[in-house]
A = this chain, B = another copy of it.
Amino acid sequence: MNSTRRFLVNIALVLIIGIAFGALAFADSDPLPSWNDGPTRKAILDFVETTTDSLSAGFVPEPERIATFDNDGTLWTEHPMYTQLTFALDRVKLLAPEHPDWKTQQPFKAVLDNDMKALAAAGEHGLVELVMATHAGMSTADFETIVTEWYATARHPRFKRPYTELAYKPMVELLEYLRANGFKTFITSGGGVEFMRPITQEVYGIPPEQVVGSTIETKYEVVDGRPVLTRLPKIDFIDDKAGKPVGINKFIGRRPIAAFGNSAGDREMLEWTGAGDGPRLKVLVFHDDAEREYAYGPANGLPDSPFGTFPQSLMDEAQEKGWVVISMKGDWKQIFSSAQ
C-alpha cells in the first residue's frame, strides 16, 4: 500500500508540475514573435482578446469566428508578378513546341519573347487566354500533379527560393494565433483554387476545403470506365473585388469577423466584413519595404502596378473607416521564414 501511495503521489506530482510548466510556457510565449510592438500588433491582440473573452460585450461564439485572408500580397509575395501568372508563363514556354502558331500569335508571342510590355498591352483578355491555354484541357488530378511539380522546381527571380517559402512569417504566425483562439481561417483569393489547394495546408495550415478562389468550369466524364473531372477553358467564377463578398457568401455562408487584404481587389471584402454587427477587424498589408520585399502602388507615391494595386483611395477609405494598415517595414521584424 505504501508503494502504491508513493506511485500515486508521483503521478499527481508529475501532473501538477506538468500543468504548472505548461501554464508558464503558455504565459511566456509570444504568439506573434515576428511583429514589432506598436498600434498594429496591439489592435490585433485587443481584437482577439475582446472576441474570445466570454465576459466581454464583444464576445463572439467560436463557430462564428471566421477570418478570411487574401493570398497574393497578403500571405505571400506577389511581385514582380503573381505566382500563378509566372506558372502560366512557364507553361506557355513548356507547351510552345506543340503550338507553333504561338510564335506569331498574341499574347503567346509576348510570353515567348519575354516582352512584358506587349503582355501588359494584351490586358485582361490576354490574361484569360493565357490561363485557358495553360490551366484547362486536362483532368483535375493531372492539373494537381502539374501544379505540384511546378512548385517543387520553380524559383522566385529575386529571392531564388521556392514560392512556398515566400509566405510572410508574421502572417503565418497570425494564422496560427487566430486558430489557437478558436478562429477558422479561410483563404479568399482572386487566384485559382486549384493552384492554391495543393500547398495551403503545408504553407499556411489551411486545408483545401477552406480555400475560396476563382474557378474554371469542370465537367464530369467517364473515361475508360473511370470517372474524371475535366477542366474546361471557361471561367466559372472570379473571386475578386465585388466577387469576394459573393464568394464568401457562396462558399462559406457566414460573414467574416476578421478580413485581411492588400489591394483594391480586397476593398469590398473588408467593407462586407465591416458591415456586420459587433467587433470586426479589417486589415490591409501595405508594401512599403523595398529593401526586404517590395514597395509599390500609388499610396506609396510609386507608379501603379499592373497587379496588386494599392491606390490612394484605398488608403483614404482605410483611414476613414479605421481599418488597420500593416506597414511591412515598421510592423514586421522579419518578412520570410528563412533569414533574408
A contacts, CB < 8 Å to B: 5, 8-9, 11-13, 15-16, 63, 66, 140, 184, 186, 193-194, 197, 201, 207-211, 215, 217-220, 222, 226-227, 229, 236, 242-243, 245-246, 249-254, 268, 271-272, 275
Contacts and interface: CB of A to CB of B under 8 A. Distances in A.
B12 A226 contact: no
Interface of A, secondary structure class, is helix
A254 B229 CA distance: 12
A158 B160 CA distance: 68
Contact of A268 (B16, B209, B220): B220
A271 B227 contact: yes
Contact of A12 (B11, B217, B249): B11
Number of copies: 2
A61 to B, nearest CB: 11
B254 A208 contact: yes
Contact of A209 (B11, B193, B227, B253): B253
Query: Closest 3 A-B residue pairs measured CB to CB?
Result: A208-B253, A8-B12, A220-B242
Given A11-B15, A220-B242, A220-B268, 11 more contacts: A9-B9, A11-B12, A63-B201, A193-B250, A197-B253, A218-B249, A219-B242, A220-B272, A226-B275, A229-B245, A229-B272
Contacts of A268: 220, 227
Contacts of A208: 252-254
Nearest to A5: B9
Nearest to A244: B220
Contacts of A211: 253
Nearest to A207: B63
B220 A236 contact: no
Contact of A227 (B140, B186, B253, B275): B275
A185 to B, nearest CB: 12
A184 to B, nearest CB: 7
A18 to B, nearest CB: 12
Most chain B CB within 10 A, of A215, A217, A251, A271, is at A251
Contacts of A66: 209
A220 B253 CA distance: 14
A227 B244 CA distance: 12
A249 B229 contact: yes
Given A8-B8, A12-B12, A215 B250 contact: yes
A116 B66 CA distance: 43
A106 to B, nearest CB: 31
A45 B113 CA distance: 60
Nearest to A66: B209
Nearest to A141: B255
Contacts of A207: 63
Given A63-B201, A209-B184, A226-B275, A218 B8 contact: no
A246 B220 contact: yes
A253 B12 CA distance: 46
Contacts of A5: 5, 9
17 contacts: A5-B5, A8-B13, A8-B16, A9-B12, A12-B12, A12-B15, A15-B15, A63-B207, A193-B250, A197-B253, A208-B253, A209-B253, A209-B254, A215-B250, A219-B242, A222-B271, A251-B251
